[in-house]
């Protein structure tokens, strides 16, 4: 298994290791302009805070589905989900159907991602350092 390393500009057929078991990610192709990934969603997001993303992407649901909480509403996704690379588009996955698989078409990275806490937006490195004790 060839593992993807964060920050890699180009890759083909690389697995991403995620510390928890909630997601398994395979980068089919990644370039500086776009990426195509397959995600196996095994559980809801482990973090209590909503997060945002560094890329705009379209997630096409190949099998299963999931429910997410956005700002103040809940959305059930059975076919697709559109996420923008913006701090104004926070969400968290709160329920996942068994064996959910998605195909994601991602745009270029345009910002850092982070979490929306009671104290406001916190970048992921600071959030993880505070929560887990390492950056």
Report the DSSP beta bridge partners of residue 15: 3, 26
Alpha helices in the chain (DSSP H): 124-132
Strands (E), 4-99: 11-16, 23-30, 35-41, 50-51, 57-63, 66-70, 73-77, 80-83, 91-96
pLDDT, mean of each 10-residue run, the chain (135 residues): 65 79 90 95 92 94 96 91 89 96 95 91 89 50
Rounded CA-CA distance 60/125 in Å is: 28
What is the reported pLDDT for 3?
Answer: 59
pLDDT of residue 63: 97
What does CATH list as the number for 11-132? 2.60.120.10
pTM of the model: 0.85
Residue 135 has a pLDDT of 41
Domain boundaries, the chain: 11-132
Would you state the pLDDT for residue 4? 57
Can you tell me the distance from the alpha carbon of 57 to that of 89, in angstroms, rounded to the nearest whole number?
A: 12
State the Cα–Cα distance between residues 102 and 85, nearest whole angstrom.
18
pLDDT of amino acid 128: 84
Q: 3-class DSSP state for residue 135? A: coil
DSSP classification of residue 38? E
Residue 126: the pLDDT is 92
Only one residue has tokens 């302009």, namely: 33
Contact 66, 93 (CB under 8 A): yes
Tokens of 133: 């004790």
**pLDDT score at 10:** 83
Q: Would you state the structure tokens that stand for residue 79, as one six-digit string? A: 């076919």
Beta-bridged to residue 114, according to DSSP, are: 123
Rounded Cα distance, 70 and 119, in Å: 18
| Per-residue pLDDT at 11 | 84
């Amino acid at each position: 298994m060839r593992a993807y390393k964060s920050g890699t500009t180009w890759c083909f057929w690389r697995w991403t290791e995620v510390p928890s078991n909630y997601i398994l990610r395979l980068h089919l192709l990644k370039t500086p302009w776009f990426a195509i990934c397959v995600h196996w969603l095994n559980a809801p997001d482990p973090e209590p805070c909503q997060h945002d993303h560094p890329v705009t992407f379209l997630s096409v649901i190949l099998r299963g589905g999931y429910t997410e909480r956005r700002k103040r509403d809940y959305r059930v996704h059975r076919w697709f989900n559109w996420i923008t690379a913006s701090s104004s588009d926070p969400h968290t996955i709160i329920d996942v159907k068994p064996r959910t698989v998605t195909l994601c078409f991602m745009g270029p990275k345009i910002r850092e991602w982070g979490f929306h806490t009671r104290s406001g937006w916190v970048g992921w490195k600071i959030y993880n350092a505070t929560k887990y004790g390492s950056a």
